[in-house]
Amino acid sequence: MLQAIDLTKRYEDGILALDHINFEVKEGEIFCMLGANGAGKTTTINLFLNFIDPTDGQALINGIDSSKEPLEAKKYVSYVSENVMLYGNFTARQNLDFFAKLGGKTDMTKEDYYAVMRQVGLQEKAFEAKLKTFSKGMRQKLGISIAMIKDAPAILLDEPTSGLDPKASAEFQKILLDLKEKGKSIFMSTHDIFRAKTVADRVGIMKEGRLVMMRTREEFLEENLEKLYLDYMQEKSA
Amino acid sequence: MIRYLVRKEALNNITNFRFIVSGLIALLLIILTTFIIAEKYMKEVDQYNEFIAADQQSLGDIKAYAELQLNAHRPPNPLIIFDSGISENLDNSVVITHQSVPRQGLEADAENPFTRIFNAADLVTIFRIVFSLLAILMVYDAVAGEREEGTLGAALANAVPRDSLLLSKFIAGFIGILLAMLIGLLVSLLVLQLVYGISFSSDQWLRIIFILVSSLLFMGFFLALGILVSSRVRTASISLIWLLFIWVFTVIIQPNLSTYVGSAVVRIPSREQIEGAIAQNWDEYRAKHQELEAKIREEVPGDPWHTDHDSSWPFYVCFDGNTCGLLRYVYRTQRIMPVFISYAEKEYQVYRNEYEVYLDRQLAVQRICNYLSPAGLFRRITSSLAETDINHHELYMDQARQFRSTFLSYLTNEKKVFSENANLYFTQRTMDQIIHNDYEERLAKRRQGVETLTYGRDSCEPFDLSDVPRFSYREPGVAASLHFVFLDLLVLLVLTAVIFYLSVISFHRYDVRQNS
Ligand SMILES: Nc1ncnc2c1ncn2[C@@H]1O[C@H](COP(=O)(O)OP(=O)(O)O)[C@@H](O)[C@H]1O
Ligand SMILES: [Mg+2]
Whole-angstrom distance, CA of residue A32 vs CA of residue A192: 9
| Residue to test with chain A: of B16, B158, B163, B169, most A Cβ within 10 A | B158
The pLDDT of residue A128 is: 96
A69 lies within 8 A of chain B by CB: no
Q: Is B93 helix (H, G, I), strand (E, B) or coil?
A: strand
Does ligand 1 come within 6 angstroms of the Cβ of A36? no
Q: Is B475 helix (H, G, I), strand (E, B) or coil?
A: coil
| Exposed/middle/buried for residue A55 (C-beta within 10 Å: 0-12, 13-18, 19+) | middle
A81 CA → ligand 2 middle, Å: 9
The pLDDT of residue B304 is: 61
Q: Taking the domains of chain A in order of start, what are their residue ranges?
A: 1-76+154-238, 84-151
With beta carbons under 8 A apart, name residues in chain A contacting B15. Answer: 89-90
The pLDDT of residue B106 is: 55
Superfamily of the domain at A1-76+154-238:
P-loop containing nucleotide triphosphate hydrolases (3.40.50.300)
DSSP string, B40-62: HHHHHHHHHHHHHHHHHHHHTT-
Q: Whose CA is nearest to atom 18 of ligand 1?
A: A42
Give the residue from B63, B98, B65, B60 showing the smallest Cα distance to B466.
B60
CA atoms within 13 A on the CB side of A225: 26
First vs last C-alpha separation in chain A: 37
The DSSP symbol for B194 reads I
Is there a contact between B274 and B355 (Cβ–Cβ < 8 Å)?
yes
- The ipTM of this complex is 0.91
Whole-angstrom distance, CA of residue B71 vs CA of residue B407: 11
Helix B202-230 × helix B162-190 angle, to 10°: 140
State whether B11 and A77 contact (CB < 8 Å).
no
The DSSP symbol for B414 reads I
A158 CA → ligand 2 middle, Å: 7
What's the pTM? Answer: 0.88
The pLDDT of residue B453 is: 57
Q: Which residues pair with A157 in a beta bridge?
A: A80, A188
With beta carbons under 8 A apart, name residues in chain A contacting B1. Answer: 102
Output phi, psi for B71, to 5 deg: -120, 145
Whole-angstrom distance, CA of residue B199 vs CA of residue B186: 13
Is residue A28's pLDDT more than 90? yes
Is there a contact between B92 and B74 (Cβ–Cβ < 8 Å)?
yes
Q: What is the pLDDT along chain B (516 residues), one digit of tens a residue?
A: 888 999 888 888 887 888 888 889 999 999 999 999 999 999 999 999 999 999 999 999 898 899 899 999 999 999 999 999 888 778 889 999 999 999 876 554 445 555 555 556 899 999 999 999 999 999 999 999 999 988 999 999 999 999 999 999 999 999 999 999 999 999 999 999 999 999 999 999 999 999 999 999 999 999 999 999 999 999 999 999 999 999 999 998 988 888 888 888 988 888 889 999 999 999 999 999 999 999 998 988 776 655 444 445 555 555 555 667 778 888 999 999 999 999 999 999 999 999 889 988 988 998 898 898 999 999 999 999 999 998 999 999 999 999 999 999 999 999 999 999 998 998 887 887 777 666 677 667 777 877 665 566 777 889 999 999 999 999 999 999 999 999 999 999 999 999 999 999 999 989 888 775
Q: Indicate the length of chain A as a whole number.
A: 238
Q: Is B70 helix (H, G, I), strand (E, B) or coil?
A: strand
Does ligand 1 come within 6 angstroms of the Cβ of A41? yes
Whole-angstrom distance, CA of residue A187 vs CA of residue A191: 13
C-alpha A79: how far from chain center: 6
Does ligand 1 come within 6 angstroms of the Cβ of A64? no
Whole-angstrom distance, CA of residue A152 vs CA of residue A105: 10
Between the CA of residue A114 and those of A86, A105, A145, B244, what are the distances in Å? Answer: 17, 15, 10, 43
Whole-angstrom distance, CA of residue B188 vs CA of residue B198: 11
Smallest Cα distance from A231 to chain B, Å: 30
**Interval A179-223: pLDDT, tens:** 999 999 999 999 888 888 899 999 999 999 999 989 999 988 888
**Angle, vertex CA B198, rays to CA B195 and CA B201, nearest 5:** 155
State whether A90 and B12 contact (CB < 8 Å).
yes
Does ligand 1 come within 6 angstroms of the Cβ of A14? no
What is the Cα gyration radius of chain A?
18
Pairing of strands A202-207, A30-35: parallel
A194 lies within 8 A of chain B by CB: no
Is there a contact between B180 and B26 (Cβ–Cβ < 8 Å)?
yes
To 10 degrees, the CA torsion angle through A87, A89, A90, A95?
0
With beta carbons under 8 A apart, name residues in chain A contacting B12. Answer: 87, 89-90
DSSP string, A31-79: EEEEE-TTSSHHHHHHHHTTSS--SEEEEEETTEETTTSHHHHHTTEEE
Whole-angstrom distance, CA of residue A132 vs CA of residue B493: 39
The pLDDT of residue B306 is: 52
Whole-angstrom distance, CA of residue A30 vs CA of residue A184: 8
The pLDDT of residue B434 is: 76
The DSSP symbol for A83 reads T
Whole-angstrom distance, CA of residue A113 vs CA of residue A101: 12
Q: Is B277 helix (H, G, I), strand (E, B) or coil?
A: helix
A133 lies within 8 A of chain B by CB: no
Other beta carbons less than 10 A from residue A98's beta carbon: 23
Q: Which residues pair with A3 in a beta bridge?
A: A24, A60
Among the listed ranges A30-34, A107-111, A189-193, B29-33, which one has the minimum average pLDDT value? A189-193
Q: Whose CA is nearest to atom 5 of ligand 1?
A: A11
**Interval B156-214: pLDDT, tens:** 999 999 999 999 999 999 999 999 999 999 999 999 999 999 999 999 999 999 999 99
Smallest Cα distance from A209 to chain B, Å: 18
The residues in B 188-217 lying below 8 A from A, measured between CB atoms, are none
Cis link prior to B113 (omega < 30° from 0)? no
Whole-angstrom distance, CA of residue B30 vs CA of residue B175: 19
- Amino acid present at A125: K
Give the residue from B113, B205, B2 showing the smallest Cα distance to A102.
B2
DSSP string, B214-275: HHHHHHHHHHHHHHHHHTTSSSHHHHHHHHHHHHIIIIIIHHHHHHHHHHHHSPPPPHHHHH
The DSSP symbol for B436 reads S
A104 lies within 8 A of chain B by CB: yes
Out of A10, A33, A34, A43, mutate this one to test ligand 1's pocket (max ligand atoms within 8 Å of CB): namely A43
Does ligand 1 come within 6 angstroms of the Cβ of A40? yes
Arithmetic mean of pLDDT over chain A: 91
- Amino acid present at B240: L
**Interval B261-291: pLDDT, tens:** 888 898 888 888 999 999 999 999 999 999 9
Between the CA of residue A157 and those of A51, A77, B99, B291, what are the distances in Å? Answer: 15, 10, 90, 106
